Structure 1
Amino acid sequence: MKDIIFDDFQNSVDDSLFRHRSILDIMSKYSESTARVNRAITKAVTNCGCIGINAEKQPTYDIDLSIENLTDTLNDHLDGQLCDNCREVVEKEIGNSLFYLTSLCNLLDVNLYDVLIKEYDKINTLGKYTFR
């Protein structure tokens, strides 16, 4: 059932893309849309203040820690949560980015659901050992 939703989304994106059908247009629009996601998050920090970034060096980890406990010692450097307004803007920009990612898949004849499943399988097979 889920693959039907992905396929339907991918087909809908293909049907609605008129102006930017060139690979160059799609690549540049995808790049622009990801920059807009970053900008929306930056504005949540600098304009709204609903989230903050407290970045510092990650702590050194104990060599005796298990891989499962290692992630508990790492910091995401994020303080707070997105307010409703900022969440709406970030979701909109992520949606635009997803649209252009899907457009790129369409142009290259790549099935987005297949990509998701392959990545999901890789994560489940390797678990924390993917080291991303």
Structure 2
Amino acid sequence: MSGLTLKQFQEQVSDLLLRHRSLLDVLSKSQQSSASVNRSVIKSVTECGCISLQANKQPYQDELTLEEAKELIQTHINGNLCENCVDAITVQLGKHLFYLSSLCNLLDLDLDDIIAKESQKCSTLGLFNLS
């Protein structure tokens, strides 16, 4: 499966999606899968403890260069995900990608094209694309 493209994955999802063919079903499942991703990450902190969070105000200042800002801005994450948490989060991200692909299928959108356009926008806008 190492050579699987987004298009192939999107076709595979289309072949497998039988139960949730309604746009409303797919939208709700996508939202549910997003919540499950968040919950898996949260469990890594609250139940497993392999990572911890220490959040505070970011030390960003307008006069910093981009490189200086990149060095100062923190993820607030301490530690590394353990193997069990990596597995759990990976499973939930996979389900989320499944429903994202399903949404693209129902709306006749090509995931490859969406990523290519977003990449082009990032390349063109550069720093102005930052949010």
* TM-score after normalising by structure 1: 0.92
Structure 1 gap segments, 5+ residues each: none
* Count of aligned pairs between the two proteins: 129
Q: Equivalents in 1 of 2:59, 2:68: separation in Å?
A: 13
Aligned runs of 1:19-98 on 2, under 5 Å?
19-61=19-61, 63-98=62-97
109-118 or 122-131: bigger deviation: 122-131
Write the distance in 2 (CA, Å) between the matches of 1:21 and 1:69: 48
In the alignment, structure 2 segments of 5+ residues that lack a partner are none
Q: Which amino acid aligns with 1:91?
A: T
The amino acid that maps onto 2:32 is E
* AA aligned opposite 2:99: Y
Q: Determine what percentage of the aligned residue pairs are the same residue.
A: 45
Deviation by residue 1:88-109 (Cα, 9 ceiling, x = unmatched)? 0000000000000000000000
1:120 aligns with 2:125: no
SS at match of 1:79: strand
Where 1:52 maps in the other structure, the secondary structure is strand
In the superposition, the TM-score normalised over structure 2's length comes to 0.92
Large movers: runs of 4+ above 4 Å: none
Alpha-carbon distance change, 70 to 64 in structure 1, aligned in 2, over 3 angstroms? same
**Distance in 2 separating the partners of 1:66 and 1:52:** 29
Q: Deviations over 1:54-74 (max 9, x none)?
A: 11111142x332123222211
**C-alpha distance in structure 2 between counterparts of 1:45 and 1:36, whole Å:** 14
Instruction: Output the amino acid matched with 2:63.
Output: D
| Distance (whole Å) between structure 2 residues aligned to residue 129 and residue 68 of structure 1 | 15
1:103 is paired with a residue of what secondary structure?
helix
The answer to whether the 8 A contact 1:68-1:128 is kept is: no
